[in-house]
Amino acid sequence: MEFIKIQRLFLRYILYGEYHPSLDKLIKSNIINPMDRLNIYRNNTFISLQECLKSTFPVSQQILGEKFFTQAAKKYIVDFPPTNGCLTFYGESFSKFLSSLIEIKNLPYVIDVASFEYAMHQSFYADDYPVLTAEDLTLIPAEKYGDLVLNFQPSLQLIQSFYPIDYIWSIHNDHSIEQMVELKIIKSTKLENYFVYRLANTVYFEKIDQDEADFIQHLKQGMPFEKAFSVISTIYPNFNLTKTIQRLIQFQVLTSYNT
Amino acid sequence: MENDTYISPSPVYGAGIGLRYQHHEDVLNSKPRINWFEVHSENYFGGGLALDYLKKIRLDYPISLHGVGLSLGSSENLSKTHLEKFKQLIHVISPALVSEHLSWNIINGVYLNDLIPTPYTDEVLAIVSRHVDETQNYFKQQILIENPSTYLEFNVADYSEADFLSALVKKTGCGLLLDVNNIFVSSKNHGFDANEYLLKIPTEAVKEIHLAGHTKKQFKKISILLDDHGSKVADEVWALYQQTLRIMGQKPTLIEWDSNIPALDVILEQARIAENYLEREN
């Protein structure tokens, strides 16, 4: 049999558990039967990828319980297997996948928690660029402000949720609690915004106001400074530009600018 | 990363250890007495903090890059993206050695996170040789190919594993990374003589040795050895290592430990044992 056909038969069994009888002829039995031998590779594949997801989504696992999380991860691996050997960012679509599971209908906030965890993960592994300081900003001539486009550290992530992610996170960090299934989480009518950033080798987050979040989002998307300010101050007349700029400088998320 | 090269490759000698994320800080702070480190290349493809650590550690130690995801043994074409990321990492780190595996893990665009064996046939030799040639040409340097630990054998074979590796060296000019634990594990799982295997390996092609722990899994009345890299090197593997050094002379030797990762000192202690064996062969 051509090797490519052998590989496809292996894939069918290792990933999907579909065993083709011709594998019995291809693989030596030698006391342990071929299916048991292939199961070693099947187990290695699933366990290592489940571990990968568990390390990226520890709070989601705590909420769902290890048993359910492991089952959900297994289904995710089958539906969305990795496509290359770099697993650092495997799990990007995991929160969306969770939203498709009817079993977690009574825990809807776990979807936002998973998105938040992935943002923290991305922030942790993001590239670092030299920081733009307050002094650097003062050197920009005032007449250039109109066209000023600010560039951000890729570790800066903005996340929104109707659930109190910060509260859930603080419970998670209480290591006396092993599982959070019993948490009573109430959906708010107000969308909360979280500003995720990294300083040195630690990822932090801050809750920020909607006007700040929208302003930063516009800037991140490349909108010139003056236009972003004009758009935001029209919608939010009380928008505090100074406070927002101070926050961006304090958290070292600005890297450069174009004028 | 393009303008980021800063160190020339420096050869490795003696014993080194596999460097895992958990120990980055410890290594930077304690600067342990060890000759070199090896890392899984793919863990640094994302750049960011992980690569920052590695670049700092590279200032004090030679680094070997060990790939796990090129899938050289697959009938599918190699991923150009993967090759390019690997090449960029080589450019940044200037590694002493670059290695990959005689195995496959990609088919139909799906990555199975394990090292799956190939049949040792002429067809597969042609595939692996083409991929090794392509990789060496792309990297503009020799790569080492590691013998796998295997839990199954194919009914069809034109070569033994050792003969397959020898033929691969002849066809491509690649070097070999001889994993002594893998030889031990496969020899027990399939009932071949590990010493005979060693004698068939072209000594001059071996540029690095791997050592690791393994575990035993019971299948009803029979047990199978699993190469889990999760414990100290077994006594029988140390004995086979000693035999390997007698046949091949001193070779740079790496301690791998990838699951149930202990404190750095525990792995360093294993490297010191390897150093003692190496000194005896001096």
Structure ipTM: 0.94
> Taking Cα atoms as reference points, which of A79, A24, A3 lies closest to residue B72?
A3
The CATH number for A164's domain is 3.90.930
Q: Is B155 on the interface with A (CB under 8 A)?
A: yes
* pTM given for the model: 0.91
Q: What is the pLDDT of residue B221?
A: 79
Q: Is residue A64 scored above 80 in pLDDT?
A: yes
C-alpha B148/C-alpha B75 separation (Å) is: 18
Q: Which of A104-118, A240-254, B1-15 has the lowest mean pLDDT?
A: B1-15
The predicted structure's pLDDT at residue B71: 97
Looking at the predicted structure, is the pLDDT value of residue B248 above 90?
A: yes
**pLDDT, position A188:** 86
> Which of A195-204, A209-218, B102-111 comes out lowest in average pLDDT?
A195-204
- Residue A26 falls inside a structural domain: no
Residue B264 has pLDDT above 60, yes or no: yes
Q: How many domains does chain A contain in total? A: 1
pLDDT tens for each residue of A107-147: 999 999 999 999 999 999 898 899 999 999 889 888 888 88
B3, part of any domain: no
Judge: B106–A30 Cβ closer than 8 Å, yes or no: no
Which H helix or E strand runs over A254? Answer: strand A254-258
- Per-residue CA distances from B200 to A57, A251, B248 (Å): 47, 60, 11
Confidence class for position A177, pLDDT limits 50, 70, 90 = low
For residue A40, list chain B residues with Cβ-Cβ distance below 8 A. Answer: 151-152, 217, 224, 226
Q: How far is B223 from chain A (nearest CA, A)?
A: 9
Of B47, B152, B217, the CB nearest to A27: B152
Which CATH number is B86's domain given? Answer: 3.20.20.150
**Residue pLDDT, tens place only, B25-64:** 999 999 999 999 999 999 999 888 899 999 999 999 999 9
Following DSSP, what letter does each residue of A91-106 receive, concatenated? TTTHHHHHHT-GGGTT
Q: Is residue B213 part of a domain?
A: yes
B77 touches A at CB < 8 Å:
no
Residue B134's pLDDT band, with cuts at 50, 70 and 90, is: very high
Domain residues for the domain of A249 are 127-259
Question: Does B2 fall in a domain?
Answer: no
- The reply to whether B4 falls in a domain is no
Amino acid at B179: D
- Residue B9 covered by a domain: no
Mean pLDDT of B132-157: 97
Residue A247 lies in a domain: yes
Give me the number of domains chain B comprises: 1
pLDDT at A181: 53
Q: Which residue's structure tokens are 């086979």? A: B240
pLDDT at residue A93 in the model: 97
Q: What was the pLDDT predicted at A175?
A: 61
Domain-located, residue B114? yes
| Percent of all residues in chain B with a pLDDT value above 70, rounded to a whole number | 97
Whether B5 shows a pLDDT value over 60: the answer reads no
Helix (H) or strand (E) holding B183: helix B180-190
Does position A169 have pLDDT exceeding 90, yes or no? Answer: no
Q: Is A46 a member of any domain?
A: no
Q: Mean pLDDT, to the nearest integer, of B238-263?
A: 97
| A194-203 tens-digit pLDDT | 999 999 888 9
Residue A13: is its pLDDT beyond 80? Answer: yes
Evaluate whether residue A98 is within a structural domain.
no
Residue B134 lies in a domain: yes
**Average pLDDT of span A1-20:** 97
Judged by a CB distance cut-off of 8 A, whether residue B36 touches chain A is no
pLDDT at B4 over 70: no
**Quick one: closest CA in A to B127, which residue?**
A3
Are the C-beta atoms of residues B237 and B227 closer than 8 Å to each other?
A: no
pLDDT in tens, B203-245: 999 999 999 999 999 877 789 999 999 999 999 999 999 999 9
Report the chain A residue with the minimal C-alpha distance to residue B45. A86
| Statement: residue A156 has pLDDT above 80 | yes
Q: Do A87 and B113 touch (CB under 8 A)?
A: yes
Q: Do the domain assignments include residue A73?
A: no
Write down the pLDDT at residue B1.
Answer: 39
pLDDT at A154 over 70: yes
Q: Does residue B8 lie in a domain region?
A: no
pLDDT band at residue B142 using 50, 70 and 90 as cut-offs: very high
Question: What is residue B2's predicted lDDT score, i.e. its pLDDT?
Answer: 40
Report whether pLDDT(A34) > 80: yes
- DSSP percent split of chain A into helix, strand, coil, nearest 5: 55, 10, 35
Interface touch B46/A89, C-beta < 8 Å: yes
Greater confidence, B164 or A85? Answer: B164
Domain that holds residue B135: 15-280
CA distances to A127, B57, B169, B275 from B251, in Å: 36, 23, 17, 11
